Amino acid sequence: MKNVLILGAGLVSRPIVRYLLERTDRRVVVASRTVSKAEALVGGHPRGKAVSVNVDNAAQVESLIKEAEIVVSLVPYTHHVAVAKMAIKHGAHVVTTSYVSPAMRELDKPARKAGVALLNEIGLDPGIDHMSAMQVIHEIRNSGGTVTHFSSCCGGLPALEANTNPWGYKFSWSPRGVILAGRNDAKFLRNGKVVEIPGPKLFANRWPYGVEGLGLFVIYPNRDSLPYIETYGLEGVQNMFRGTIRYPGWCETLKGIADLGLLDLVERDVAPGTTYASFLSGFLPKAKSGSLAERIAEKIGVTPDDPILARLEWAGLLSDRPIPEKKASPLDVLANRLLRMMPYARGERDMIILRHEFVSSWPDRPSARTVCVLVDYGQPHGDSSMARTVSLPAAIAVRLMLQKKMEITGVHVPVTPEIYEPVMAELGAVGIQFKETSHLLLPGPFDAARR
C-alpha cells in the first residue's frame, strides 16, 4: 500500500498530519528540510514517518513521490508544478492549498490522461471561500435567481483581545507570504467596469469595512477577481470583488513601506555591522539635516508625527540594532524583523474572518442581499485558526480521495458540489461554519420621495 506524502512541515501543517494519521489507515510521510519539524508533527505515531528533503533537489523529491498515492504540497507555490509533473509520471494525485498558476493549468490534459487529480486552492483563501460561495450561488441559481453583486473578503488577524501591538497584526503563517502579497497587482469589477490597480498603489486603494459583531476593519483588493466570474459562473455580474481584511492602520503602513522601496525582492549583500537605521537610510535621498524619521516622512509624504513612523520605530526599523542577515532582499529583511517582533504569545488566539456578500435578482420577486460570515478562533495552546482552516479542507479532500468518494482527474479547484458538499459538511461538524442572513431589498418611503 502506497503512502500519503506531505511536503512541508511549516506553520499550517500540523492539523493535516494529525487528521490523516487519525482518520485514515495510510502511512503518512512528512518531508521537510528540517527533519526535527517533521518529527514533531508525526509525534511518534506508528504510521507516521519523518524524512529530510531539499525541495530544490528533484531526485530526492521524486524518490518520495514514486512511493506515494497522494502528495500534499505545502511547500512554496513555486515548487508545485515540478511536484505535479513528477506525480503525473508516477500516477500520484496532488493536493495544494495554493492558487492555480497558468503552468499548473497546462497540466490538465496530461493529468487526465494519467488518471491523476491535481486539486488546488483547497485551503482557506483560496478554498473555503470558493466552496462556501458556490453553495450560495448554486442555491440562488437553482431558485431561478441571478447574482448581480458578489464580494468576498478574508483576513487572518489577532483576536480582538490579542491585538496588542500598533501594527494590528501577528504572524500565524509565512511572514514572507504576508508581505509579498503587497506586491500584487489587482483587478475587480465595479458597476460593470474593470478597475485595475498596479501593485505599488495597492494599499492606497483601501476602504472601511464592518463585520457583524466585531466592528470596523479595512479591506484592500486581493489579486485579480475577474477570472472568478467564469469560475463561479457569474457571467453578467455587475460587481465582483475579492478583498483582504486588516485592522485599521495596516494598509497605510504597508503603503509607506512600499513607497520606501522595502518590498524589493532583489538580494543584496549586507555589510557587517549594518543597522536597521542605516539600511533604511540607504533608501532615502542624501540629506544634510533632519532625523531619519523626518527624512522617511518626507519620502513617503506624511508628517513626522504620523502613526506610520511610530510603527516603524516600535518594530526597531529605525534603531541601531545590527541586521542579522548577511545577504537578503529588502523584503526579507523586513519580513524577518516583523516575525521576530510580532509573534503570538503562548495562549493567544488568532482569528479568521471570511465574509461574503451577494445581491441577487429574480424575475418574479424583489432582489435580496445575502451575507455569510465565518469567524473562527485558534485554540489556546493548540492549533491556530489559520492552520486549521488552511489544512483541514485539504485533509478532508485527501481522505475522500483515498476512500474513492471523490473521483476526479485533471486540474480542479473546489467549485463543484462533489468536492465542496462533503468538505463543507465535515468542516461544519468541527465548528468551522458560516452564519447566513438574508433580506429583501424593498423600496421605502425615502425612495418614493426621490421619484
In this structure, are residues 95 and 402 in contact, taking their beta carbons and an 8 Å threshold? no
User: How many Cβ atoms sit within 10 Å of the Cβ of residue 381?
Assistant: 8
Catalytic hit among 25, 56, 125, 129: 125
Query: ω into residue 126 within 30 of 0, thus cis?
Result: yes
C-alpha cell at 136: 450560495
In this structure, are residues 385 and 125 in contact, taking their beta carbons and an 8 Å threshold? no
Say whether 91 sits in a helix, a strand or coil. Answer: coil
Q: In what order do the strands lie in the sheet with 117-119?
A: 48-52, 28-32, 3-7, 68-73, 93-96, 117-119, 410-412
Directed axis angle between helix 128-142 and helix 417-429, to 10°? 110
C-alpha cell at 8: 512541508
Clarify whether 383 is annotated catalytic: no
228 Cβ contact list (under 8 Å, min separation 6)? 234, 240, 242
Using only C-alpha atoms, the chain has a radius of gyration, in whole angstroms, of: 23
Directed axis angle between helix 292-300 and helix 250-260, to 10°? 100
Q: What is the DSSP letter of 194?
A: E
Q: Which amino acid is at 9?
A: A
Query: Residue 26 and residue 96: Cα distance in Å, rounded?
Result: 19
Smallest CA-to-CA distance from 223 within 147, 129, 137, 159 is with 129
Distances in whole angstroms, Cα of residue 158 to Cα of each of 171, 222, 340: 8, 20, 16
Query: Residue 451 and residue 448: Cα distance in Å, rounded?
Result: 5
Q: Which amino acid is at 421?
A: E
Distances in whole angstroms, Cα of residue 134 to Cα of each of 175, 268, 354, 356, 417: 30, 45, 14, 11, 8
Helix (H) or strand (E) holding 87, with range, is: helix 80-90
Smallest CA-to-CA distance from 227 within 186, 181, 180 is with 186
Q: What are phi and psi of 62, to 5 degrees?
A: -65, -35
Active-site residue list: 125
